[in-house]
Structure 1
Amino acid sequence: MFKKLKDKLKGDDHSASQQQQQQQYQGPSYQQSNLHPSNPYYAPPQQQQQTGGHNMSSNEKYQAPPGPPPSHPGASPSSGYAPPPGPPPSQSNFPQQPPPSWEPPPYHDWTVIPDTSLLPPPPSIGYETSPTANATEEDGGRAYEWCLVNPLWPPQNLTPPTHAAIQNGQLAMLKPPTFTGDVTPMQQAGHWKCRTHAQCRDSVLLTNLPMYSVFWDSPLNTHRSKTIYFELKVLGIGRGGFSLSEADAGIAVGFIAPPYPTFRLPGWQRGSLGVHGDDGRKYVNDTFGGVDFTNAFQPGETVGIGMTFSLPGNPLSYEQTQMGKIMDIDVFFTRNGQKEKGWDGNEELDERSEGGTVGLRGECDLFPAVGVFGGVDFEVFFHPSQWMYQPF
């Protein structure tokens, strides 16, 4: 009973709403028999002859119903709504279009990782500054002027006894003027122990003799490869603890072609390369912030750096000779007796580098170099019997 009463009230509300809409809408006058069956005001007759779809004969022309559909947002007397031309899609005489042919797109397996081994390696991205410690711009400008005044030395013709001493690791370390600390020879030849003061400025310790001699060691003369290498054991870095973000001390290992400004670390000026232990970056004639390479040196670790010169495996192209390539050069870095990383000594350098690889391509004598700043403790080994890594 309640359901019937509820349905009756609902029907009355619907009828009242429909009457109100009929009173508000002032469209053109028409008869209910002319309304489209989809129109809410359409009232089907009691008996109507079915002569085709939408009560139309086959010869009768379709006429769109007047007024907007009630669900259209602009269904108001002033909206000016115009019905779309043509019959609705369901009209029997409406031409039917065949569905277009459809094929699914080709399947691509996005989980397959492309092989990038044949692609060239991305270029090294250099930094303007180091995150740890940086020399002043004044020192950089002074070193640049120093290199302009002092060009690279030509190769020196060493005597056989001198070359034999080099082969036996009998190299001595020389203190530069900016170095403050102690350099002590140990019992075995080629073994040195160094301790710097906390206020030691940027300095580079070089050996008294070159480890690579052009006249004696160049593959262009000997027709065989030549490797130079030495190791350094880190005993301590900093006097009050070591922090990578605020390093007050550091060590760098590398090679230089003389002459070299000894108040600069290896790798900062022309004819030099180095791996720096404070920021773990490599420097090749780079006076700025270097390139990411390895991790910072830690006390107790033994690190080493080497270069191998060999005749090119393939004939050099004209472009390579114009760039100054003479032979193949492999620069490598070791840590605790294991080869960790390396790079091609002929690789193209950043345009900010001074002179590219000039001096490091086997055309100059090369000296081992240890750069320091702040308070550090370390030992250096030049004789092969003292090395953890055996490159030969």
Structure 2
Amino acid sequence: MTKKTYAPPPGPPPGYSDASRPGNGPPTESDNTNLGPLPPYHNWQEAVPDTSTLPPPPVTANYISAMGNASSDDAERAHDWCDASPLWRPAFPSAHVYQPVQKYQIQHLKSSEFNGALSMHDDRWRGHTRDGNGDCILTTILPLYFALADSPFVTERRKTIYYEVKLLGLRAGPSPRDASGLAIGYVAQPYPTWRSPGWERGSIGVFSDDGCRFVNDSFGGRDFTTPFRVGETIGLGMTFQLPLDVNNARGTLKLRAQVFFTRNGELVGDWDLHEERDVEAGGIEGLEGDVDIYAAIGFFGGVDFEICYHPRGWLYHPE
């Protein structure tokens, strides 16, 4: 992730002067004796409406990760690559393409930056990256979500995609630069192969080292959960639903999209993809259900892992 620093202005923050108060000490009740009668307190509880029904405020973003950051050169190269590589337009899948995904027969596309091994064992993919492996990504060859076949605008039913990853081991080196970890996520293609999911356009990811979640965020992500522990099984899913006012939405509004995160078979967090976002946040292009979406796992350093796409191997079962 790129690093961003902030230099505070010199000197103390501006404030009110206390020079006119006798003794310059803390105010006392006697300080008010020569000021006349005090105005009545304003009953703000009657004036302020109930805010419980308002949407939550945006989650504050981090400028850098507290655990580790990719080089700014890698980030700039990825930004330029995305600018020159438009998202793929969705195509309606043939039965030969669509049916294997519905039967959870998932295959992977290893990036050239992925140095390690990957093999299938009883509905699970087991693999590892080599010690010191740089940032890389492993994606599914076919999308888990086909926009022209799975969209609730087409089927009039909600669509959920989900998978789980078990963290089997982390083989960190002697220095902080040799740290190891993974990110579980989704991407819209094409996507730069030297970047983890969540860092670039059309991607989302939750990271093992700091528990932050990223949505098109090349800075430090947003606080979300605790770091993953070796032996834990974590899952990430997305649910797409029709807009509430579907009669007026077709062609004008986006699908509702909810992201949810699980640990060891328990739902521990979720968020609305269309949540209020601060001005520093990237967009959500490619994640709103109008293009195909692929499962994606990012790695850095030496990681041992297991991936499960079939429901019979999941610890958590979405509704």
Shorter-chain TM-score tier:
0.7 to 0.9
Q: In the TM superposition, what is the alpha-carbon distance from 1:199 to its structure 2 partner?
A: 1.4
Aligned to 1:202: 135
Q: In the TM superposition, what is the alpha-carbon distance from 1:240 to its structure 2 partner?
A: 5.1
Is the contact between residue 287 and residue 353 of structure 1 (CA under 8 Å) also seen in structure 2? no
1:371 aligned to which of 298, 301, 309:
298
Q: In the TM superposition, what is the alpha-carbon distance from 1:193 to its structure 2 partner?
A: 0.7
Deviations, residues 291-350 of structure 1 (Å, cap 9, x unaligned): 0000111101000000000101235989x95xxx41111110001101111110122333
SS, match of residue 99 in structure 2: helix
The higher radius of gyration belongs to: 1
Counterparts of 1:183 and 1:352 in 2: how far apart (Å)? Answer: 37
Gaps of 5+ in 2: 1-36
Counterparts of 2:300 and 2:69 in 1: how far apart (Å)? Answer: 10
Counterparts of 1:343 and 1:225 in 2: how far apart (Å)? Answer: 17
Aligned to 1:122: 57
RMSD across aligned positions (CA):
2.7
Alignment-mate amino acid for residue 328 of structure 1: R
Highest RCO, 1 vs 2 (Cα 8 Å, sep ≥ 6) = 2
Is the contact between residue 132 and residue 173 of structure 2 (CA under 8 Å) also seen in structure 1? no
When normalised by structure 2's length, the TM-score is 0.80
Is the contact between residue 199 and residue 374 of structure 1 (CA under 8 Å) also seen in structure 2? yes
Q: In the TM superposition, what is the alpha-carbon distance from 1:173 to its structure 2 partner?
A: 1.7
Q: Does 1:229 align with 2:158?
A: no
Aligned to 1:160: 95
Write out the 4+ residue segments of structure 1 that deviate beyond 4 Å after TM superposition: 315-318
Aligned to 2:184: 253
SS, match of residue 292 in structure 1: coil
Q: Does 1:303 align with 2:234?
A: yes
Q: In the TM superposition, what is the alpha-carbon distance from 1:119 to its structure 2 partner?
A: 4.0
SS, match of residue 211 in structure 1: coil
Counterparts of 2:258 and 2:108 in 1: how far apart (Å)? Answer: 25
Gaps of 5+ in 1: 1-101
Alignment-mate amino acid for residue 69 of structure 2: N
SS, match of residue 168 in structure 2: strand
Moved more, 150-159 or 365-374: 150-159
When normalised by structure 1's length, the TM-score is 0.66
Q: In the TM superposition, what is the alpha-carbon distance from 1:351 to its structure 2 partner?
A: 3.0
Counterparts of 1:308 and 1:225 in 2: how far apart (Å)? Answer: 7
1:192 aligned to which of 111, 117, 125:
125
Moved more, 165-174 or 298-307: 165-174
Is the contact between residue 256 and residue 272 of structure 1 (CA under 8 Å) also seen in structure 2? yes
Q: Does 1:271 align with 2:202?
A: yes
Question: Structure 1 or 2: larger strand share?
Answer: 2
The residue correspondences of 1:15-164 to structure 2 (distance < 5 A) are 117-164=52-99
Q: Aligned pairs, how many?
A: 278
Aligned to 2:307: 380
